Chains A and B, each alone.
Chain A
Amino acid sequence: DAGVIQSTRHEVTEMGQEVTLRCKPISGHDYLFWYRQTMMRGLELLIYFNNNVPIDDSGMPEDRFSAKMPNASFSTLKIQPSEPRDSAVYFCASSAGLTTEAFFGQGTRLTVV
């Protein structure tokens, strides 16, 4: 298996623009997580899905953030409009079952200028 795929390693956008981050989880995994990592706040869970259904989005910082999982093999995290304080590394992770570990993608470093 190729692992969790976040095809974009670096994304640069201008303030006010919409940015969409993409993730392909490991085939067969039924949980998908979006995390944000910054120096100040460490690793924060933004939202997670089970069987494509959002279970907990309490970590989403503002209404500017939204996430979807239209099918078992694809998820997006969208920020609209983006702001410089959204600059961070965004990780997608997936897992199978209730006690198994999460497998992480390599992350997308977002810079909003």
Chain B
Amino acid sequence: GDSVTQMEGPVTLSEEAFLTINCTYTATGYPSLFWYVQYPGEGLQLLLKATKADDKGSNKGFEATYRKETTSFHLEKGSVQVSDSAVYFCALRASTGGFKTIFGAGTRLFVKA
């Protein structure tokens, strides 16, 4: 079945460091891909998305490119801030078999001042 695998956390970085959180997926058809962010005590919020191969989603300095050849959707940011500390979830929305959204396990990011 469809699945999402993302790198285990926690990831600890200093402020202004470069961030990469890896995400790979397995899916039939052509899924849409998403990154969600969850701040402490809050629900998940959409960070960015891409709906077809080679699309780049971007928001708030974060970027991710839909790579069909490597089935990946890695999240990157050039310079993280303390306020980026949160849990990040990679997700896919299947294009067949019911169209449900499947989430990865989440990666916790700590950014130190």
Could you list which residues of chain A lie within 8 angstroms of chain B, going by C-beta atoms?
4, 31, 33, 35, 42-43, 45, 48, 50, 55-56, 91, 93, 95, 98-107
A43 with B103: CB separation less than 8 A: yes
Residues of A within 8 A of B46 (CB): 101-103
Is B77 close to A, CB under 8 A? no
Binds A, one of B12-20, B63-71, B93-101: B93-101
User: Is B86 located at the chain interface by the 8 A CB criterion?
Assistant: no
Q: In the assembled complex, which residues on chain A have CB atoms less than 8 Å from the CB atom of B105?
A: 42-43
Interface of B is mostly: strand
Instruction: Provide the residues of chain B in CB contact with A91, threshold 8 Å.
Output: 43-44
A33 x B100 contact (CB < 8 A): yes
Do B102 and A45 have beta carbons less than 8 Å apart? yes
Provide the bound-state CA to CA distance between A104 and B36, in Å: 10
Asked whether, in the complex, the Cβ of A102 is within 8 Å of the Cβ of B101, the reply is: yes
Q: 24 pairs across A/B with beta carbons < 8 Å? A: A31-B99, A33-B100, A42-B104, A42-B106, A43-B89, A43-B103, A43-B106, A48-B98, A50-B99, A55-B100, A91-B43, A91-B44, A95-B93, A95-B101, A98-B99, A99-B95, A101-B32, A101-B46, A101-B93, A102-B46, A104-B36, A104-B43, A106-B42, A107-B43
CA distance A75 to B32 in the complex (A): 26
How many A-B contacts if CB must be within 8 Å?
Answer: 59
Q: How far is the CA of A42 from the CA of B51 in the complex (A)?
A: 25
Contact among A55, A99, A106 for B43, CB-based, below 8 A = A106
Q: Is the CB of A99 within 8 A of B98?
A: no
Q: How far is the CB of A89 from chain B (nearest CB, A)?
A: 9
Closest residue to B93 on the A side, CB-wise? A99
When each residue 73-113 of chain B gets 1 if its CB lies under 8 Å from chain A and 0 otherwise, what string results? Answer: 00000000000000001000101001111111110000000
Considering the chains assembled together, what is the distance between the CA atoms of A60 and B45 in angstroms? 24
Across the interface, name the chain B residue whose C-beta is closest to A55: B98
Least CB distance from B19 to A in Å reads: 20
Tell which of A4, A45, A55, A105 touches B101, judged by Cβ atoms closer than 8 Å: A45
Contact (Cβ within 8 A) B45 A104: yes
